[in-house]
């Protein structure tokens, strides 16, 4: 095993930011023991296509800023999927009233 600097595991896994003990930005564990609270690992894999594992020896934390961005991705994804469903429902409804829409 190589000799890693002690701060290696304290940097954000996504943006490499580092905060010492006096920093106001919080580091959140990627793999939280409380499954209902944290889905960071799932969001990282789904939205960024980065495979993360508790055994990969890389930093296991993300900064608050990156966690917020993942939440924003999630919110945007949910909104986009909802919008798609509503548009398809509207198109289906319009077709049922007047026949197919010509483009």
The answer to the question of whether 15 is labelled as a binding residue is yes
Dist. CA 55–CA 77, nearest whole Å:
29
> What is this structure's pTM?
0.75
Could you tell me the two tokens for 18? Answer: 């580092």
pLDDT digits (tens, 9 = 90+) for 32-66: 766 555 689 999 999 999 999 999 999 999 999 99
2 is in an annotated binding site: no
Average pLDDT, the chain: 86
Burial of 42 (0-12, 13-18, 19+ CB in 10 A): middle
66 is in an annotated binding site: yes
């Amino acid at each position: 095993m190589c000799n890693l600097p002690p701060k290696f595991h304290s940097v954000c896994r996504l943006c490499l930011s580092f905060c010492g003990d006096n920093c106001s930005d919080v580091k959140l564990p990627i793999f939280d023991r409380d499954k209902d609270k944290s889905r960071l690992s799932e969001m990282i894999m789904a939205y960024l296509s980065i495979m993360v594992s508790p055994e990969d020896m890389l930093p296991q934390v993300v900064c608050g800023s990156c966690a917020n961005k993942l939440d924003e991705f999630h919110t945007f994804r949910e909104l986009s999927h909802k919008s798609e469903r509503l548009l398809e429902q509207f198109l289906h409804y319009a077709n049922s009233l007047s026949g197919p829409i010509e483009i």
